[in-house]
Amino acid sequence: MKISRRLFLVGGTAVTAIVLGDLNKPRRSWAQASSVNLYSSRHYDTDDALYDSFQSGRVNLIEAGASELIERIKSEGSNSPADLLLTVDAGNLWQADQDGLFAPVDSEILKQRIPANLRHPEGHWFGFSKRARVIYYNRDRVNPAELSTYEDLAAPKWEGRVLIRSSSNIYNQSLVASMIAAEGLDAAEAWAEGIVANFARQPEGNDTAQIQACAAGLGDVAIANSYYFARLAKSDDPADQAVVEKVGIFFPNQRRNQRGTHVNISGGGVLANAPNRDAAIAFLEHLTSDQSQTYFAEGNNEYPVVEGVELDPVLTSFGQFREDELSVEEYGKNQAAAIQLMDRVGWP
C-alpha cells in the first residue's frame, strides 16, 4: 500500500487511526519529493485505488468533513503539510478559495480534460466527478409525463407532494444558487416559496431518506442526488430493492429551451502552502486519466467529468441527459444569497 491514513475530528480526539507515518512529528516532515499530502472529505474505500495507482509517489491521507479540513488548513497556516484538498460540492471549493487556501495551477492536461464550467477559471480548483440533482417520483402515484422542470414543482398541482431536505444542506443551497444565476433572485425566491408551500412534510433526513419517503408514499416526488439512488440500486438489502421498484428517476429541464439538469462536483486543488507542489499537480493530472476517472466516479456512483470514459452500468441504466452548462463557480458566488432567500421563505 502506498497510503498512510488518519481520520480525525478537529478539536477532538481521533475517531480512527491507521498510521503508516508519525503525524506527531513536525508538520513539514511530510515534505518529500516522492510524497503528496492529501486532505480529503471523500470517505470511500474505493478511492484507495486512486492512491495506489499514482505512480509518482506515496499518498499521505487525512480524512474529515469539508469544514473541519478547511479550518485545520487555516489554523496550520504556512506550516501546513497539506498539498491538496479534495472535497464535495462546488460551494465548499468556493469557500476554501475565498479563504485563500488554493494556489492557481496552469496545467494543459487539466484544461484539456476537464470542461471549463467544472473548474475554476484561473485554475484554483478542478472538478473530477459529477453528481446530478434529479427528481424522483412514486411510480404508483405519478405519471412521469406530468414531470418537466424544477420550476414546475412549485406549481399548485404539487401542493403537499414534494419531499426535499433542509435549507442547511449545501446541495440545496447550490441548487438555489444556480437558479439565482440562471433566472434571477426574484424568480428563484418565488420558486423556493412555492416549494415550501408544496412540502409533503417538514424537511428531515438526508437524500436517501427523501427517496425512501417517496417510495413509502409520504410524498409523491422528491429531489435528491443521483448517486443515492445508485447506491440503493446496487444494494443487496431487500428493503432497498423495494424502494428502487417503487421509485422512478427523472432528469428535469431537458427541452431545447431549458438549461438542463443541475450538476455538482467532487473536486479539489493545490494548496497555497503546498510543500510538494509539483507532486500535487501530478496527482491532480492523474485524477483525469481514464482509469482514475472510473475509480473516482465509481467511488460514489457519480459521473466522470472526462468525456468518453465508460459509465458505471447502473448509471447507464438511468439513461442519458443534458446537463446545465452553468459554471459551478456560480454556486459559491450565490451561496449567501441562496441561504438568505431560503430563510426568507421559511425553508427550515
User: Which alpha helices (DSSP H) does the chain contain, by range?
Assistant: 48-52, 66-76, 90-98, 108-113, 170-183, 185-197, 207-215, 226-234, 238-246, 277-286, 290-298, 313-318, 329-333, 335-344
Q: Are residues 254 and 276 in the same domain?
A: no
Q: What is the pLDDT of residue 43?
A: 82
C-alpha–C-alpha distance, residues 171 and 210, integer Å: 13
pLDDT for res 31: 47
| 48 & 74 share domain | yes
Q: What is the pLDDT of residue 47?
A: 86
pLDDT at residue number 230: 97
Task: Mark whether 246 and 272 lie in a shared domain.
Answer: no
Do 178 and 205 share a domain, yes or no?
A: yes
Task: Judge if 8 and 72 occupy the same domain.
Answer: yes
Is there a single domain that holds both residue 105 and residue 140? no
**β-bridge partners, 261:** 323
Q: Give the domain CATH number at 222.
A: 3.40.190.10
271 and 284 in one domain?
A: yes
* pLDDT value of position 273: 96
- Is 208 in the same domain as 292? no
Same domain, 153 and 110: no
What are the C-alpha distances in Å from 173 to residues 243, 271, 305, 315?
Answer: 26, 25, 22, 25
Domain count, the chain: 2
> Which structural domain, as residue segments, surrounds residue 162?
131-261+322-344
Q: How far apart are CA 348 and CA 338, in angstroms?
A: 13
- Residue corresponding to grid cell 433542509: 166
Of 346, 85, 89, residue with least CA distance to 192: 346
Query: Is residue 209 located within the same domain as residue 335?
Result: yes
Q: Which residues have a Cβ under 8 Å from the Cβ of 5 and sit 6 or more positions away?
A: 18, 19, 20, 61, 62, 63
Phi and psi, residue 23, nearest 5°: -80, -5
As averages over each run of 10 residues, the pLDDT of the chain (348 residues) reads 51 32 38 78 85 90 94 96 96 96 98 98 97 98 98 98 97 98 97 98 98 98 98 97 98 96 97 96 96 89 95 94 97 97 98
Q: For residues 137 and 144, is the Cβ–Cβ distance under 8 A? A: yes
Whether residue 299 is contained in a domain is answered as yes
**What is the amino acid identity at position 2?**
K
Residues 111, 9 share a domain: yes
Residue-wise DSSP of 308-327? TPPPPHHHHHH---PBP-S-
The pLDDT value given to residue 5: 56
Q: Which residues contact 94 (CB under 8 A, 6 or more apart)?
A: 329, 331, 332, 333, 335
